[in-house]
Chains A and B, each alone.
Chain A
Amino acid sequence: MPTTRPAQATRSTRRTPAPRSRRSSPPPSPSRPARRIPLVPILFGVIGLFGVVAVVASRGAGHDGVPAGVQQVRPVSVSGTALPVLGDGADPAEGVVIPEVDGKDFAGDPVALRRDGVPKLIVFLAHWCPHCRNEVPVITGWLADKGAPEGVELLSVSTAASLDRPNYPPSTWLDQEGWTLPALVDDADGTVARAYGLSAFPFFVAVDAQGEVVARGSGELDVEALEHLIDRARSG
């Protein structure tokens, strides 16, 4: 008895999958929620809400007021030849006479850098520089411990002051640090800094009694390095 064979699928009856568009949505997974939360609009809404809160919360905030008469930049007068910028290797300014500068401090009192027969150590500071902010307490602590060095005048120059940069104003910063050295305030163009060949902050210039550069350096210095510079200025 012939056996019946199950009907075989023919080309006409074989199910062919419908062609899928490359950009058609994938079939929903069984666990996919039927109604999706509009996460992107919600995210925009949250950003907008935060924006409103930020505007309201920041009203009245800003830089602390600077006392009247205190200026963070002041005009300066420089005479003499500018020192070359300190680079790597031997300092080209060694033995070169320093330019003389007439200026004022934050309060408007005169401060000068002169070839007056007194050895000097001049330190250039920028309020926004983290290394200057580390160096100032080292110097103030050293002065508090040992007092002003004999025979060498210590002076500072506040330069590169900028309202847009952190730790402004420099006058307040130095006051808070208990800075006692005379601070000549540079102009907005950094004229004094350029005249002394500043390459980085903090910047040190050791000057002998003849008004000539004996050493320059940049970067944080410890007490030992500061005393070495003082000795070099004193001995010439």
Chain B
Amino acid sequence: MDTEAATLLFAFLAVSAELAVLAAVVLAVAGRWSPTVAAWRRELATWVGPDALRLACVVAAVCTAGSLYLSEVANFRPCFLCWVQRGFMYPLVLLLAIAAWRRAYRTGIVLAGVAVLGGTVSVYHILVERFPTLESSACDPTNPCSLIWVERFGYLTIPTMALSGFALIAVLALAARP
């Protein structure tokens, strides 16, 4: 699989994550007003809840593997903000795996918090890409964070994909229940 195919795969996964998060948000909001939607939400929670931590762990692992592919195989050098996002994503793989193994569903809210923090950094990185002057008025010759290495479907850059992953992890962690 070459870089072109790999980034396209990551883009597909990111779009899927975004759709899943959107569906969760719609169910959560609409369920406050519609008993039917609330019933759907509860039914979905019973199906997904027991596996939610395992699913979140898989998502974190895929994001981690993707970031390592981009830096080690595709030679896209991670900038400072990339490393900060990695600092949130990589530990989530281990934490979610342990939480899933121990059936520690109540840790979901803490793990969701970690994902939200990582997603916040992703949001800032996206802003730096779109508004390079947030970082500086000039490009660091080594590796500026304003560099857009990949852009799929007109908007999916690497931090955007990371944000999609963090968002899905947060939703799944919050949905975790026995």
Tell me the nearest residue of chain B to A44, going by C-beta.
B58
Report A123 CB to chain B, min CB distance, Å.
12
CB-CB under 8 A from B147, the residues of chain A are 128-130, 165-166
Tell me the nearest residue of chain B to A128, going by C-beta.
B147
CA distance A150 to B178 in the complex (A): 78
Given A31-B46, A160-B141, A200-B139, A58-B4 contact (CB < 8 Å) = yes
Tell me the nearest residue of chain A to B42, going by C-beta.
A31
CB-CB under 8 A from A172, the residues of chain B are none
Is A93's CB within 8 Å of the partner chain B? no
Given A164-B74, A166-B148, A201-B138, A29-B4 contact (CB < 8 Å) = no
Is B140's CB within 8 Å of the partner chain A? yes
CA distance A132 to B12 in the complex (A): 31
Tell me the nearest residue of chain B to A60, going by C-beta.
B4
Would you give the 0/1 interface string for B40-72, flagging 1 where the beta carbon is closer than 8 Å to chain A? 001100111011001100100010000000000
Is B13's CB within 8 Å of the partner chain A? yes
Is A144's CB within 8 Å of the partner chain B? no
Report B88 CB to chain A, min CB distance, Å.
21
Does the CB pair A33–B55 fall under 8 Å? no
CB-CB under 8 A from A25, the residues of chain B are 103
CA distance A55 to B103 in the complex (A): 37
Would you give the 0/1 interface string for B135-150, flagging 1 where the beta carbon is closer than 8 Å to chain A? 0111111001011110
CB-CB under 8 A from A202, the residues of chain B are 138-139
The one of A23, A40, A55, A219 in contact with B137, judged by C-beta atoms closer than 8 angstroms, is: A219
Tell me the nearest residue of chain B to A134, going by C-beta.
B132
Is A36's CB within 8 Å of the partner chain B? yes
The one of A44, A50, A55, A220 in contact with B138, judged by C-beta atoms closer than 8 angstroms, is: A220
Does the CB pair A61–B146 fall under 8 Å? no
Report B42 CB to chain A, min CB distance, Å.
7
Measured CB to CB, the residues of B under 8 A from A are: 1-2, 4-6, 8-9, 12-13, 16, 42-43, 46-48, 50-51, 54-55, 58, 62, 74-76, 102-103, 129, 132-133, 136-141, 144, 146-149, 151, 178
Given contacts A25-B103, A47-B13, A201-B138, 12 further A-B contacts (CB under 8 A): A26-B103, A36-B50, A37-B47, A39-B48, A44-B58, A50-B16, A53-B12, A58-B4, A130-B139, A131-B138, A164-B74, A190-B141
